[in-house]
């Protein structure tokens, strides 16, 4: 996922992809990015973030090949993998909407981020 990095609400912006990574074996939290460069400013997630001023605007990208981690590592994705990703996305939204972020942090620890 590509998302925003708000210094005053880092947990709010990083936690949704973290939830996805706990629910879906082949979703990689480590490949998520929470910053943007000049050449990404015209993308939908950055435009929506700037317009709506909400922290959770993401682009979720998928490989046409297959995952680098998990049970399906080294195998190609098929339609059922993408359908499962959509199902888990909705499950993650349900969890996030009722989530006590600090309870999750206590249980799983703080997510490691690549701050490139």
Q: Structural domain boundaries of the chain? A: 10-108
pLDDT at 22: 94
> Cβ(34)–Cβ(111) under 8 Å?
no
pLDDT greater than 90 at residue 56: no
Residue 51 has, within 13 A of its CA and on its CB side, a CA count of 9
List b or e across 23-32, with b for residues whose CB sees 16 or more CB atoms inside 10 angstroms.
Answer: ebebbbbebb
Q: Is 106 helix (H, G, I), strand (E, B) or coil?
A: helix
Q: What percent of the chain stands above pLDDT 90?
A: 16
Residue 112 has, within 13 A of its CA and on its CB side, a CA count of 3
Q: How far is CA 43 from the centre of its chain?
A: 16
pLDDT at 37: 67
């Amino acid at each position: 996922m590509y998302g925003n990095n708000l210094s005053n609400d880092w947990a709010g912006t990083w936690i949704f992809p973290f939830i996805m990574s706990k629910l879906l074996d082949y979703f990689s939290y480590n490949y998520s990015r929470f910053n943007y460069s000049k050449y990404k400013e015209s993308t939908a997630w950055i435009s929506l973030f700037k317009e709506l001023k909400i922290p959770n605007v993401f682009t979720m990208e998928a490989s046409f090949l297959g995952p680098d981690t998990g049970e399906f590592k080294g195998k190609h994705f098929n339609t059922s993998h993408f359908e499962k990703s959509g199902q888990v996305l909705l499950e993650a939204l349900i969890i996030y909407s009722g989530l006590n972020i600090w309870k999750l942090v206590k249980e799983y620890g703080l997510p490691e981020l690549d701050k490139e």
